[in-house]
Structure formats: C-alpha cells, structure tokens
Amino acid sequence: MPSRVISAFAAEEERRVLSLRPVLAPAHDSYGDHPHQTYDAWPSTDPDAPLVILLHGGYWRYDRMHLTPFAAWLSGQGFDVLLPGFRRSGGAGGYPETFDDVARIVDTLPQGRPYVLAGHCSGGHLALWCAARGLLPAGSRWHTRSLPTAVLALAPLTDLTATRRDGLSDGAALQLLGGEEAFEERLAAVDPLTLLRGAGTTGVPTVLLHGAADEEVPLTQFADYAAVHRDLRTVVLPGTGHYTLIEPGAPGAQAVADTLRDMTAGFGPRRPARAVREAVPS
C-alpha cells in the first residue's frame, strides 16, 4: 500500500488534538490483575449524572492518554466518565486478550447502572462489537445477554476486512487478529459488520457519529455498516474531520456531548457504585 496522503486540514487537526497535554484523572481503579486492566474515573458532582464508558482509539495499539483531555472535558458537561485501559496489540494484547478485557470492562464496571458505551475509531469498533456480543454463538467465550444500554460509535472502524484491505495504520487489523493465517478464522467472532449481517440489528440502541471530512477512516466503512444495521441512527457533521470529535470544546465534541445527552435522557436515578481510588501523581 502507498503511504497515506492527507490534506493540510486533516494533518493540522491530527497534530493539534494528539498533541494536547494528558489530564490526570481525579480517581482510578482496576478491574483485573494485569497492569493494563485499570481505568480512570471522572465522577460528576451530580449524583444522578449519567454514566459514559469511553473506549479509546489508536488502532488497538496505543494507550488511552490521548483521550484524557476529552474525558475530563466530558465530565464537565455533566457525565460520570470512566476511561479504561486494556491489553493492546503489539504487547500483551491482540486476539483474544484485547477482547477478553473489553468484555470484562462492560460486564463489570457499570455495576448495574444504565450507561452509554462510547468509542472513538478502533474504540468505536470495540463498542460496536460489544453491542453485537449477543449475536455470537452461545458457546463463544464472549457471548452474553448483558449488553450495553446504548452505544455511541465515533468515527468507528466497522469492517476489519476493509481495514485490512486498505492497509490502515500499517496493517493494524492483521496485527490485532494475529496475522494472515489467523485472520479469516478469527474474523467472524470480532467483526461488527460480519456479526450484523443476517441479524440486521444488535438490539442495542446505537448511534454512529462521524465527520463528513474524515480522512482517517474511509467513509465507506460508515456507509457499509449503516446499510446493514436497520435501526441505526447516523449523525454526520459537515466540515468535520476525524479528531475534532474528541477535541475539548470543539464543535465536533459539542455534538458528541449533545448526542450523549439525548441518548441518556431516559436513564433513571443513579444506583450506588463502589468508590474508586483517588489518583496520586507519580
């Protein structure tokens, strides 16, 4: 594949957002014993604030630090925000560990509360996959009937076959699934588009939000997913790229917050949850 060529607009957007200084969360905790099985928490001062769990992007390789400014900003918009880490490709993760961790996150962290599972880019892929876990065979290690209350996929990777074909991020999809020999065998269990074909819906209220000027993820990924998800809601932001969806205060991020308010309007009062540890700067 030739090197990706992007416009000056997209290059500046990427540089501006990814160079933001990370924000230390006021609290953190763990959901497992591995060092990557931790999460940051930005609790709202409103006891009835709706819960949002964010799954970060980075093509399944990179850590969550680039999403901390957005998580902190989103908490200021009136949400309880959890930002978990998970084992990642190129290290302790990939197939199956990344999926084991994300399944464990959604199975344990909400603690009975309604919540929106939101994810950006590859995090959007993982959020859509979580919504589709009920479509997996009953014998699958990830099958469950306990699905997210709602899913918000922000500029998501929806199709691992297309991600592989287009060589996005230097073969990130191949790396996630363990290389050429394992790719086809493992695809059916972890690809949102593949899981959705035939069923037509996950049964989870789902919104796909993306910018019309996204140059990171091909727009066909969004259109192809929308074509097979019969009750998907799609929000398209004109003149908006890939990264301003997670840029604090930007119009794209404001649209994300507004969409979350709409999605959580029917959530009931908060149930008690266990405390998380206060973060201590190292």
User: Over the stretch 5-47, which tens digit does the pLDDT of each residue have?
Assistant: 899 999 999 999 999 999 999 999 999 999 999 999 999 989 8
- The CATH classification of domain 8-265, taken from the options 3.40.50.1820, 3.90.226.10, 3.80.30.20, 3.40.50.300: 3.40.50.1820
Q: What is the largest CA-CA distance in the chain?
A: 52
Average pLDDT over residues 262-277: 73
Upper half-sphere CA count for residue 169 (Cβ side, 13 Å): 21
Q: Taking Cα atoms as reference points, which of 83, 185, 192 lies closest to residue 130?
A: 192
Q: What are the sequence ranges of the domains in the chain?
A: 8-265
Q: In the predicted model, what is the mean pLDDT of the chain? A: 94
Closest by CA to 150, choosing from 233, 222, 40, 78, is: 233
| Predicted pLDDT at 45 | 87
pLDDT at 180 over 90: yes
- pLDDT at residue 279 in the model: 62
Its pTM surpasses 0.75? yes
| pLDDT tens digits for range 121-155 | 999 999 999 999 999 999 999 999 999 999 999 99
Closest to 218 in 3D by CA, of 177, 132, 158: 158
Residue 278 has pLDDT above 70, yes or no: no
Mean pLDDT, residues 275-282: 56
pLDDT confidence of residue 5: 83
Predicted confidence at residue 2, as pLDDT, reads 46
Measure Cα distances from 73 to 9, 70, 98, 276, 281 in Å.
24, 5, 26, 19, 19
Query: Quick one: pLDDT band at residue 1, thresholds 50, 70, 90?
Result: very low
For residue 274, the model assigns a pLDDT of 52
Q: How confident is the model at residue 282 (pLDDT cuts 50, 70, 90)?
A: very low
Give tens-digit pLDDT for 83-113. 999 999 999 999 999 999 999 999 999 999 9
Q: Check the CA dihedral 229-230-232-233 and report its sign.
A: positive
Question: pLDDT value at position 281?
Answer: 45
- What percent of the chain is modeled with pLDDT above 90? 91
Phi, psi (degrees; rounded to nearest 5) at 238: -60, 145
| 3-class DSSP string for the chain | CCCCCCCHHHHHHHHHHHCCCCCCCCEEEECCCCCCCEEEEECCCCCCCCEEEEECCCCCCCCCHHHHHHHHHHHHCCCEEEEECCCCCCCCCCCCHHHHHHHHHHHHCCCCCCEEEEEECHHHHHHHHHHCHHHCCCCCCCCCCCCCCEEEEECCCCCHHHHHHCCCCCCHHHHHHCCHHHHHHHHHHHCHHHHHCCCCCCCCCEEEEEECCCCCCCHHHHHHHHHHCCCCEEEEECCCCCCHHHCCCCHHHHHHHHHHHHHCCCCCCCCCCCCCEECCCC
pLDDT tens-digit series, residues 45-83: 898 999 999 999 999 999 999 999 999 999 999 999 999
